[in-house]
Amino acid sequence: MADDNLKALIAQGLTAMHAGTKVAEGATQEIQDDARSPELRQALEQGSQQSRQWAQRIEQALTEVGGPTSENSNPILEAHYEVSKRIRGQAPDDQSRDLGIIANGQLALHYWIAAFGTMRNYCEKAGMSQAAQNFRQCLDEAKQADERHNEIAEQLLRRPAMA
């Protein structure tokens, strides 16, 4: 693949990821407000801080590749957010709501894991070594957050139902 074509593909992917950070930013406080488990609330706060770092790294890579493409939305993360609202709104109790938040959050994290892994590979191939290194770090952080969500879900499942 020609370098220009690869860089165009990277710009498209980064533009979608950038739009995804805007979706996450808008949803974060609402989701945190709905969570009841102290462990989950803490993990969501850490995730919020982490996602701001991810957004900065994505913006840096976008600058390096020449800026965003014209596409300015991320239908995948928009759909995750809509599902999250439905799950939270229909939950019969706090424990179910928290478990729904975790399940939907992990779906979003898996999106980020795939996106960061792909961008790391593409950036590396395109000679964008700093971006590749940043996306490796983002990938590792997303995997750690996913594991933390698993741990919290296991804790919640061992507790008696919350009111």
Report pLDDT digits (tens) over 12-59: 999 999 999 999 988 988 999 999 999 999 999 999 999 999 999 999
Buried b / exposed e across 6-24, counting CB within 10 Å, b at 16+?
bbebbbebbbbbbbbbebb
Total tally of structural domains belonging to the chain = 1
The answer, yes or no, to whether residue 67 has pLDDT greater than 80, is: yes
3-class secondary-structure state, position 66: coil
Task: Tell me whether residue 163 is in a domain.
Answer: no
In a domain, 42, yes or no: yes
Contact predicate 98/40, CB 8 Å: yes
Q: Which CATH number is 154's domain given?
A: 1.20.1260.10
Domain assignment present for 80: yes
Structural domain harbouring 86: 3-158
Is residue 70's pLDDT more than 80?
no
Question: Considering all CA atoms of the chain, what is the largest pairwise distance in Å, rounded to the nearest integer?
Answer: 58
